[in-house]
Copies of this chain bind each other. A is one copy, B any other.
Amino acid sequence: MREAYQSDLRHIVDDLVDMADLVGRALEGATRSLLEGDLGLAERVIAADPHIDERQVELDAKAVELLARQAPVATDLRLLVAAMRMSSSLERMGDLCAHVALVARRTHPSTAVPEQHQEQIARMSSLAGAALAEAAQVIAERDLALAAQVEKDDDEIDELMLEIAREISRGEGYSNRQVVDLTLLIRFYERIGDHAVSLVRRVGFLVTGDSLDTLHESVDVPEF
């Protein structure tokens, strides 16, 4: 009985890692569809998002069932509460990937990202993907060794957001529509980075036993 319960808890952690994997693939596909103008790929990313949503519904249902059946306390209770929050972050990250793909679809066959920003957007995406993969490892192993790296990746994402916002603001030759789209895109990537940070901080609260298992992101409007 006790053993089955521990195995249920372990499954919840596995489910979070699986969700992170799905989101990572969505992110990669979304950015590729955006930069390469691949409409079919954009469609697939958009169509796959409900599967990530379903995974969250399932994970949360399991967590609530364990709360009801096992009445956990202390660490186990905190793990379940944290897992429900992490599943929300992952689900939201999936939405943001779908948002990127929606911009790719809307602007096809032209691209939303002007030539001079393609490398920056590719870098924002690869940093976000790295942060997510690191966060998944932190979740899987409950080991905070990689936590600092996730924060560093997120800082670099924020820097790139500011850099792009600054270049747009001072630059010429953009259509208004390009500016709207680019602004939305850099905001989406920035939010994905924020959520990756939020994931590792929640594991941090679990590991350190800090009572503060609620997390507040720094207020994040570009001061460009």
A interface residues, Cβ below 8 angstroms from B? 46, 49-50, 53, 56-57, 60-61, 64, 67-68, 71, 73-74, 77-78, 81, 84-85, 88, 91, 95, 98-99, 102-103, 106, 165, 168-171, 174-177, 179-180, 183-184, 187, 211-214, 216-217, 219-221, 223
Contact = CB atoms under 8 A, between A and B. Distances in A.
Contacts of A219: 46, 49, 95, 98-99, 102
Number of copies of this chain that the complex holds: 2
- Secondary structure call for the A interface: helix
Contacts of A184: 183, 187, 221
A213 B99 contact: no
Contacts of A217: 95
A56 B220 CA distance: 19
A180 B177 contact: no
